[in-house]
Structure 1
Amino acid sequence: MSGVQDPSTWLLDRIDARETALTCETEHVQAQIDELTAKLSELGQAIEHLRITRKTLLALAEEPEPASPSPVLPDHPAYQQILAAFAEVGQPMRARDLCQVLDLPIARTNTENIRAKLKRLVSRGILVETEPGLFTPPRP
């Protein structure tokens, strides 16, 4: 009986082998579970970010536009005369045209002074320069 193994040893060896195989398989499955759990967490976080983004965009879309402050007209009465002339004529004008409407002599100094005032009104958002030298009130 030298080549024959004891049946109890043989069974224990088989149990040990099976336990080792199951332990390896358990570790492999646990690694897969950990990987899938991490992936699930990443996906959940991405979904939550999209929900927050959607909620923020919808909230922003519902907010009224902040009112821009009204442009401040310079104190000098010439500016009121200029705006009154634009309201009366109802079309874009050049500095020379405005001198004629305001009954100013067509002289270089008058034209340059009016042009400077028109540029100042443009810088304050009261008028717009649609092309070089052509001024008009902005459209609402």
Structure 2
Amino acid sequence: MGSLFEELEAREAAARVRVEELEAELAELSGRLDLARESLERLRIARETVAEVLAEMTPEKSAVGVDAGQPAVGEPVASAYAGAERQVIGVLTVPNWQPGMGAEVLPQVYRDILEVVADAPGPVRAKQIVPRIGLPAETGKIEGTRSKLKRLVERGWLDEDVPGLFTLARRRAAVSPNSR
């Protein structure tokens, strides 16, 4: 009968080891669950905050005029995001150009690009702009700038009559990109 008790003890020890392994696995899964819950909560808060900001935005707060950001009395003001839906997923950092809209609605790097293009005596290439906006003349920086130039063309801020050569959009040639 001695061997039956030994067998039971061996099985009990194996079961104990398996319980300890499962408890360790449960503790690890519990920690991962806590991290996932924290991440979910941060995302929920971020979504609610963005929704609140968008809901609180009024045409007066989001409107940008010409002449150092102050519209003339009785002059219509073009919003950087006129016609944009309130329930958006992404943010339009480069709005479509509209009459009366100044470059101050653009992120700083886009304003810098517009300034270089405006100061140039003729059409400019991306590789000419890169050093003038303070970036190293590396392929990655040139391609990133070219992408920004193409975006400015798509949104009506610049023209690209010849591929790779950029100028101010003709319809806004009278408006300075520095009308901050």
TM-score class, shorter-chain normalisation, is 0.3 to 0.5
Structure with higher Rg: it is 1
- TM-score for both structures, normalised by structure 1: 0.46
Higher RCO by CA contacts (8 Å cutoff, separation 6 or greater): 2
